């Protein structure tokens, strides 16, 4: 998602934009329903096993959806821009609800990241999950959708 959108930004080749849209739609269409839209570590993991959620992949996807939204806006596609923004914000809100960890002893911003499930590296903080979480926040600031005002 992120790569195809970035390639479109750098080359202007529509095939990259088309692929970014299709891959992003596939991702959105396969998000879980129910108590959380944060995806499991593997979309093909059996739901009956209650697979761990993967906030790290979700933050990357959120950033990609916001980047795609900005591209759509630059092309005058207001509907497309709003659609991708809504999906990204929905995902980010659920990430925060599920995984925000403000405790000082916790060494990451978010929990529930999955790096290597088959070797037990899941439900943990991951630096790249935090990076893309902050990146998504910065994109929202740039878009004028968020601000840095602290609630009292």
β strands within 1-152, DSSP E? none
DSSP 34: S
Q: Which of 129, 92, 91 is nearest to 110 (CA)?
A: 129
pLDDT at 152 over 60: no
pLDDT at 51: 87
What sign has the CA pseudo-torsion 104, 106, 112, 115? positive
Q: Provide the token pair at 43.
A: 């979309």
CATH architecture for segment(s) 2-143: Alpha/alpha barrel (1.50)
40, β-bridge pairs: 53
* pLDDT for the residue numbered 151: 56
What are the residue boundaries of the structural domains of the chain, listed by start? Answer: 2-143
125 to 31, 64, 109: CA distances (angstroms):
21, 20, 7
Sign of CA dihedral 6, 9, 10, 12: positive
Mean pLDDT in residue range 65-79: 98
Residue 47: pLDDT band with limits 50, 70, 90: confident
pLDDT digits (tens, 9 = 90+) for 78-129: 999 999 999 999 999 999 999 998 888 888 999 999 888 888 888 889 999 9
Query: Is 2 a residue whose pLDDT tops 70?
Result: yes
Give the mean model confidence (pLDDT) for residues 39-45: 89
Classified as helix, coil or strand, 43 is coil
């Amino acid at each position: 998602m992120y790569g195809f959108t970035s390639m479109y930004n750098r080359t202007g080749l529509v095939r990259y934009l088309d692929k970014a849209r299709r891959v992003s739609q596939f991702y959105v269409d396969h998000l879980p329903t129910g108590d959380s839209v944060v995806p499991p570590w593997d979309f093909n993991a059996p739901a009956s096993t209650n697979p761990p959620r993967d906030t790290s992949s979700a933050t990357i996807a959120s950033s990609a959806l916001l980047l795609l939204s900005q591209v759509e806006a630059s092309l005058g596609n207001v509907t497309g821009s709003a659609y991708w923004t809504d999906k990204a914000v929905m995902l980010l809100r659920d990430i925060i609800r599920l995984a925000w960890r403000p405790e000082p002893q916790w060494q990451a911003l978010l929990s529930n990241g999955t790096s290597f499930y088959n070797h037990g590296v899941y439900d943990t903080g991951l630096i790249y999950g935090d990076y893309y979480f902050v990146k998504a926040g910065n994109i929202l600031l740039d878009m004028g959708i968020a601000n840095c005002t602290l609630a009292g």
